[in-house]
Amino acid sequence: MRDLIEGLEETGAAADDPVARARAAQRTPLPKRFYKEVGVGDGAAGYTILLDGRPVRTPARSLLALPSRPLAEAVAAEWAAQGEEINPFAMPLTRLVNVALDRVGPEAEVVRDEVVRYAGSDMLFYRAEAPQGLVAWQAEAWDPVLDWLHASHGARFFLSQGVRHVTQPEASLAQVRALVPLAPLPLAAVHSITTLTGSALLALAVAQGALGVDQAWAAAHVDEDWNRRQWGEDEIAAARRAARRTEMDAAAQLLALVG
């Protein structure tokens, strides 16, 4: 059980490759399912996941307690969906919740700082010089996010062509910080989307409801999709992208259900 829950703490918010992790899991015997019934409990600490009536705990041995029943039911559904064996990599929402409670919660300000650092050199600021088709794609996908930040939050940013670094206004980064969640669960989701997309601004737009997850995912892959259109699909890259999309969907689901 200890090995299982430690495995359930790994997530796409970490720097490791989800495809490599999945392949490693295939080489490692999976633990047998040890429970029959999955339920949701309601107590003073919040909504808990019950396996044969016993509450699930995080890898750090804290009670896995969630603030909303819909979120708890979604996590419980991942446990219920397991077959004869338990595959931690088929439980992305559970893994992200574990990371939020065990790792993000105790270091919330450090995690918030990291999101703001991403924003300081956000992907959306660095535009291609050519070809014109790619320049247009980037503008179409990225400019609405920058327009939203300016119109709704007064944040202005400077753009650059190529990879020349451009320093962003401190006042604008302060506005970004104000949008970064304080609570561990939404903060973990924002951090995960940030690292998966390479853009804190896309992550915050999803968290604030200014951008849908499909739009954010497409915006994060403008350059990749342009190259794929020119040169064709790479099988390994496609598998990696699919695995990362699973993590992205889990983070978006957490934001929607956290309450």
What pLDDT sits at residue 5?
Answer: 46
Helices (H), the chain: 2-7, 18-27, 69-80, 92-99, 108-120, 132-153, 170-179, 184-197, 200-207, 213-220, 222-231, 235-257
What pLDDT sits at residue 20?
Answer: 59
What pLDDT sits at residue 234?
Answer: 80
What pLDDT sits at residue 11?
Answer: 45
Residue 48's SS3 state is strand
| Domains of the chain in sequence order | 2-105 (3.30.2180.10), 107-257 (1.10.3580.10)
To 10 degrees, what angle do helices 132-153 and 222-231 make?
A: 170
Mean pLDDT by 10 residues, the chain (259 residues): 50 49 65 96 94 96 96 98 94 98 97 98 96 97 98 97 92 98 98 97 98 98 91 84 96 94
What pLDDT sits at residue 43?
Answer: 87
The label of the residue with tokens 């044969």 reads 52
Q: Among candidates 219, 125, 209, 132, which has minimal Cα distance to 172?
A: 125
**HSE (side-chain half, CA atoms, 13 Å) at 202:** 29
Quick one: residue 203, left, alpha or beta (phi over 0 = left, psi -120 to 50 = alpha)?
Answer: alpha
What pLDDT sits at residue 25?
Answer: 52
What pLDDT sits at residue 240?
Answer: 92
- Whether the CB-CB separation of 125 and 168 falls below 8 Å is answered with yes
What pLDDT sits at residue 216?
Answer: 98
Structure letter (DSSP) for residue 100: I
To 10 degrees, what angle do helices 69-80 and 92-99 make?
A: 130
CA dist., res. 122 & res. 111, Å (int): 16
